[in-house]
Structure 1
Amino acid sequence: MDISQKIAALVRLGQYLDPADKAGKDELEAVKQRAFEQNGWFTPEFIDLALANISRYYLDGNALRTWLDQYPNAGSPATVKEVGIVAAGNIPLVGFHDWLCGFLSGHKVRLKLSGKDEVLMKHILAKLAEWYPETAALTSVEEMLKNCDAYIATGSNNSARYFHYYFAKYPHIIRKNRTSTAVLTGTETEEELEALAADVMVYFGLGCRNVTKVYVPENYNFEPLLQALRKYEHLIDHNKYKNNYDYNLALLLLNNNYYMSSGSLLMQENPSLFSPLSVLHYEFYTDILALHAELRANDEVQCIVGRGGVAFGAAQQPSLSDYADGVDTMAFLTGL
C-alpha cells in the first residue's frame, strides 16, 4: 500500500469508529462490550470518548496529510524494518498512536498488547484486514517481541528499567511514568473549571495526560473547583473506583489529614506530582513564572493545563504531533 491508500484506509476507519454514528455497527458495539467485560475500567462512556478522540484528531484525512508533510520519507523507507511496539493498557487504545506511526512509516509493526487493552485494537486490525487484505501483512500481534530492528516501549518506571536492559543495543524509545498538572490563577471561569474537571476525571484519572495535581495561588477559593468536579459524582458508583476512594479517605481520616471532597474526588495538599487514584493533589505557589519554568523542566510532566499551556478540557485530545514524552515517534521511525 502506498501512503495515499493507507490514509484512505485510516479515514474509513475513523468513520467506522466514530461513536456519533452507531448505525449498522452492531459488531463494534459488541466489541466495546467485550472490552468492558475484560477490563472494568473501560466503561462504555470512556471507550466512546477514546474512539471519538481517535476518530476526530488522528483519523481525519486533512490532518493526516498535513502531519505527514513533515516527514518526506514516511511510507517509503530505504529498508523496511521490523519495529516492536510494547503498548500500555491504562486507558482504551492508549497504544493506537504508536501503531499509527508504525503503520504510516512503511515499516512492519510487531505489536505486544497489554492484556488490559487488547480487544479493541485486535478488532481494529481485523476490520482493516477485512476491508484491505494487504494490511494484514503490515502488523502482527505477538506475545513476545524478539529480534526486532527497533523498539518502542511504554510502561512504568520499573518496567522501563527492564526495557532499557533488553533493548539497549537496538534503536529505541522507552517511556516511563508521566503525569499532568494544571496551573490556576483564581480567575478561571465556570466553563474553564468544568473543562478542567474533565482533564482530571475522564478515564478515572488513569492516563498520563490526566491532571493529578493543581497549583493554585495563596488564598485560593476551592469551592468553584469542587463544584465543577461534582459533574463527575457518578463515577463513585463504579465499584473499582469507589474502593480506591474509600481506601484513600480512610487513610486521610486515620492520619488526621486535612482534605476536601467533591463527592467523588478527594483533594489533599501534597508536594508530589503523582496522586493516588481518586485523589487530586494541590500546592500553593507565589511566582507563576518560576513555577511554569520548573514544570517545563520536569521530565515527569506530560502536559501543563491552564492559560499559557494546554487549553482547559483539551488534555485528553492530543493531536497527531503531540508525542508522548515529547519524543517525535514519526521522526524516530522514518530515520531508522
Structure 2
Amino acid sequence: MTLETKKTVFVELGRFLSQFSEDNSSKKETVLHNDLFFDDFIKLIKLSQSHNGWYTPEQVYFSIQSWAKALKRENLDIWLSGYKIDAVKPKNIALILAGNIPLVGFHDFLSVLITGHSVLVKTSSNDQHLLPFLAKYIIAVEPKFADKITFVEGKLENFDAVIATGSNNTARYFEYYFKDKPSIIRKSRNSIAVLNGTETKEQLSALGEDIFRYFGLGCRNVSKLFVPKDYTFDSFFEAIFEYQDVIHYEKYANNYDYNKAVFLMSNFKLLDNGFLTLKEDKSHASPISSVFYEFYDDIVDLQTRLKSEDEQIQCIVSNNLIENSIIYGETQNPQLWDYADNVDTITFLLTI
C-alpha cells in the first residue's frame, strides 16, 4: 500500500467516527460500510461502561469525536509531511497499551500502520473492545490491512520492536524484558497548570475541562497547580462549579470520599468545594478527585525547575507564562504531531 492509500483509509475511519456524538448520532449515506458497522458501534459504545466503569458514554463519545477531528486529510498531510515513509522496510511492532482512557493507544496503532509496519497489539484489560472494532472497520475499507493487524491475548512473540505504556513500576519490568529490542517505554507522567492570578473566569472554567475530562485519569489531565504567593482560590472554585455533576458519578464520588477521608485523618489542610479537594503538595501526581497545588515566588525560577522535571510532566497549561504551554481547555485535544512524552514515534518507527 502506498502512503496515500493508507491516509485515505484513516480519513474514511475519521468520517465513520464523525457520525457518533452523545447528543445525536446520525448515519450518513456517503460513509462506507455503515450497513455493517454503524448500529454495532452504537451498541458497543452503550456497553463500554459495563466493560470499564470509567468509560461512561460521555467520555467515550468525547474520545471518538476527538479522533474524528484528528483523522482529516489536512491533519495527516501536515503530520507526515516531514518524513520519508514509503522507503520503510516493514517489521513487526508490538504494542502494549494502557487502558486509563478510551482509545488511549490509538495514536501508536495509527503510527505503526501509517509507516507501513505490521502491528501486534496487546490491549489493556480495561480497554479490550473499542480498538479491535475500529481495526475491523479499517480492514473492511482496505482488506490488505488484515495481514498487518494482530491482536494478541497471550505472550507476545515474533516482533522486532516494542512500544509499551504503563506505570513507573511496570516500566522497569518492560525495560528489563525488552532490553534486547528497540523500544519506547512510557512511564507515569502528569500535567500541570501555572497560574498568576490574572486568569479570566472563562480561562479557569476551561481549566476545569483539563482537570475533569476522563475523571482526571489521563496523563494529560491537570493534577497540579502552581500559583503565586497569597493566591486565593475563590475565583477558581467559582469558575469550575459547572463541573459539579461529576460527584453524582458513583466511582468518582467513592474516590472523593475515600481520598478526602485519608487526607483529613492525616491532618492535612484541605480546600474543598464538595466535589474536588485541593491539597498543598510538592508531588505532581494527585489522586482522583483531588488536585495538588504549590506556591511559587518567581516565575523564572519556576520555569527553570519545570525544565529540570521535564520527564515527570506530560504537558503544561498556562496563559503563555511557560514556553510551549497549552491554552486552557485543550489538554485532551492533542494534534497528531503532539507526541506522548515528547518522543517522536514516527522517527522511531522509521529508524528501527
Which of the five TM-score ranges fits, normalised by the shorter chain?
A: over 0.9
The alpha-carbon distance between structure 1 residues 288 and 254, as it changes in their structure 2 partners (threshold 3 A), is: same
Task: List gaps (5 residues or longer) in structure 1.
Answer: none
Partner of 1:290: 301
Equivalent residue in structure 1 for 2:39, among 21, 26, 31 = 26
In 2: Cα distance, 1:280 partner to 1:140 partner: 39
Q: CA deviation at 1:257?
A: 2.2
- Runs of 4+ in structure 1 off by over 3 angstroms are none
Q: Tell me, what secondary structure is at the counterpart of 1:47?
A: helix
Whichever residue aligns with residue 287 of structure 2, its letter is P
Look up the match of 1:7: 7
Aligned to 2:35: none
Correspondence for 2:137? 127
* From 254, 265, 289, the counterpart of 1:254: 265
Question: What are the superposed Cα offsets for residues 230-284 of structure 1, whole Å, 9 maximum, x if unpaired?
Answer: 2221111111111110001112222332211232111111111110111100111
Return the offset for 1:26.
2.5
The alignment status of 1:115 with 2:131, answered yes or no, reads: no
Partner-residue secondary structure (3-state), 1:41 = coil
**Mean Cα deviation higher: 118-127 or 22-31:** 22-31
Q: 2:91: which partner in 1?
A: 81
Equivalenced residue count is 333
TM-score, with length taken from structure 2: 0.92
Match of 2:55 among 35, 42, 48: 42
Q: Report if the CA contact (8 A) 2:199-2:319 is conserved.
A: no
Instruction: Report if the CA contact (8 A) 1:14-1:56 is conserved.
Output: yes
SS in 1 for 2:314: strand
One-letter amino acid of the structure 2 residue matched with residue 313 of structure 1? G
| Alignment-derived partner of residue 306 in structure 1 | 318
Q: Which whole-Å CA distance do the structure 1 matches of 2:308 and 2:351 have between them?
A: 26
- Is the 1:209–1:315 Cα contact (8 Å) retained in structure 2? yes
TM-score, scaled to structure 1: 0.96
Deviation at 1:75, TM superposition (A): 4.1
1:1-60 CA distances to partner (integer Å, 9 max, x unpaired)?
A: 211111111111111112346223322211112222100101111111111111112x01
- SS across alignment from 1:332: helix
- What are the equivalent positions in structure 2 for 1:195-274 lying under 5 Å apart? 195-274=206-285
* Per-residue Cα deviation, 1:164-219 (whole angstroms, up to 9, x for no partner): 11111111100100000000010001110011000011001000000000000111
Per mean C-alpha deviation after superposition, the further-off stretch among 170-179 and 254-263 is: 254-263
State the secondary structure of the residue aligned to 1:273: coil
Residue identity over aligned pairs, in percent, reads 41
Which has the larger displacement, 289-298 or 218-227? 289-298
Matches within 5 A, 1:43-192: 43-57=56-70, 59-72=71-84, 74-77=85-88, 79-143=89-153, 144-192=155-203
Partners of 1:83 and 1:268 lie apart in 2 by 42
CA-CA distance at 1:297 after TM superposition: 2.5
In 2: Cα distance, 1:107 partner to 1:307 partner: 40
Q: Which moved more, 1:30-39 or 1:148-157?
A: 30-39
**Could you tell me how far apart the structure 1 residues matched to 2:208 and 2:141 are?**
39
Letter in 1 for 2:329: G
Give the AA of the match of 1:207. Answer: G
Does structure 1 conserve the Cα–Cα contact (< 8 Å) formed by 2:164 and 2:185? yes
1:132-189, CA deviations, whole angstroms, 9 ceiling, x for partnerless residues?
2211111111122123100100000111011011111111100100000000010001
CA contact 2:63–2:102 (8 Å) conserved in 1: yes
Q: How much has 1:128 moved relative to structure 2?
A: 1.3
CA contact (8 A) 1:199 1:312 kept: yes
Counterpart-to-counterpart distance in 2, 1:297 and 1:28:
44
